Amino acid sequence: MSSVSIKKERLPQLDTFRALAILGVLHVHATSLATVESVELKAFYLINFLNVFFRYGTPSFIMLSSFVLFYNYFNRPLDGKLIGGFYKKRLLYILLPYVLFSVIYFIYKMHVAGTLGTSTETYGEMLGRYWKNLSEGTAYTHLYFVYISVQFYILFPLMLKLFKSSKWFVRWAIPIGLVLQWAFVIWNKYEWQYQSKGSLAITYLSYYMIGAVLAIHFDKVRSWLMNDLNKLRTKAWIWNGILWISWAAVAGVHIWFYQQVRLNGLIVDTIWYEILWNLHTMLTALVLMRVSFVLYRKGPKWLIKLLTRLGELSFAIYLVHPLILGYYRDTKDWFFDQVPMSSMTYLIWVYGGLVCSLVVSWIVTQAILRWIPGAWVLLGSVPASLRKKKTGPSAPVSATDRNL
């Protein structure tokens, strides 16, 4: 491996990928309670579809995080300067917002529970509970993603060294990732039985490996991403067809499976939940890569501009949107006092939560990042398009090297 750092091509298509991924996250969160509440309504079938189909969000972000890191760092010399700069960025733009938002959601949960400002706990007990939440990624339901990202960042220099030093490992990285991930899943199911296994990076090792391999072999996959179907070689065209057919089949089975579980009380071994989720989300992440590049190339300019800005703000929106969604759900009784409950009105109210959490968190985070100095402390690095002047330590400028 050459010790000369190679300047990487800027990939603005990745912001489109981020936008599609955050839309997946928002759909799942907006419909989570509705899958239980709507079982007696005809709207259940659509709500179940949305909830299961869009489960690709967080796994896609994980794959993209790995892709971005290996794309930007694989061909650079692995020395103290590189490692120091890497950890400085992640400490400032990922870990610090995670710590602060863990405080915010810790307080918010006490507010919702009605214990904020009461004497039910001593300050020492509260601090101990907060530290436990912080150290397990459980301060709020969505913060586990940032927590597992931190775990990956800790291991990244070692993984980078391993990938750089072994062509054999690069060749077999994805099977190795799947084997280790599933060995952990099975061991945890039958032996350890750790309840918060979703907060451990090894649960997502296959996605990290896929992202790494795609980045390392980007010169080989770029033609698949950059070209129309009629310009692909026969082998690439066939593999593309297999990917899409497999994705559609697995997604359909996954949706049907949860419909049977939720509506008809289907009882199966929990390993089937893991298998279907893993297959569906892995294939979707790959499909999203193709879709993102096609959209960026062929989509109308106004749509690309909109998706690019959404992608730029995806980390900030990810952090903020559960607060907006939580307060929106408090409107449920008021809303159905105004209109009678039906499949249509319930669906409108549920989807209203998605739209509200997206639009409000988008407006709020964009305003904060644009106008408030030092906003990077809370919301991560400021996108170059919003950065009028330096607001903190050097932030990534490239569309590839971003928070998520």
Parse the chain into domains and list their residue ranges: 13-386
Q: Is the pLDDT reported for residue 1 higher than 60?
A: no
The Cβ of residue 2 has, within 10 Å, a number of other Cβ atoms equal to 8
Nearest 5 degrees, angle CA 400-CA 403-CA 404? 75
* Backbone CA torsion sign across 354, 355, 360, 362: positive
Mean pLDDT of the chain: 91
pLDDT in tens, 268-310: 999 999 999 999 999 999 999 999 999 999 999 999 999 999 9
Nearest 5 degrees, angle CA 290-CA 55-CA 57? 55
Q: What is the DSSP string of 304-343?
A: HHHHHHHHHTHHHHHHHHHHHHHHHHTTHHHHHHHS---H
CA-to-CA distance for 64 and 207, rounded, in angstroms?
9
> Which structure tokens are listed for 291?
């879709």
Provide the CA 92 distance to its chain's centre, in angstroms.
19
> Which structure tokens are listed for 294?
């096609």
> Which structure tokens are listed for 81?
């300067």
Q: Is the pTM of this model over 0.75?
A: yes
Look at residue 156 in the predicted model and tell me its pLDDT.
93
pLDDT in tens, 92-131: 999 999 999 999 999 999 988 888 877 777 888 889 999 9
The Cβ of residue 395 has, within 10 Å, a number of other Cβ atoms equal to 20
pLDDT in tens, 204-240: 999 999 999 999 999 999 989 988 888 888 888 999 9
Which of 205, 222, 112, 104 minimizes the C-alpha distance to 152? 205
Q: Is the pLDDT reported for residue 394 higher than 80?
A: no
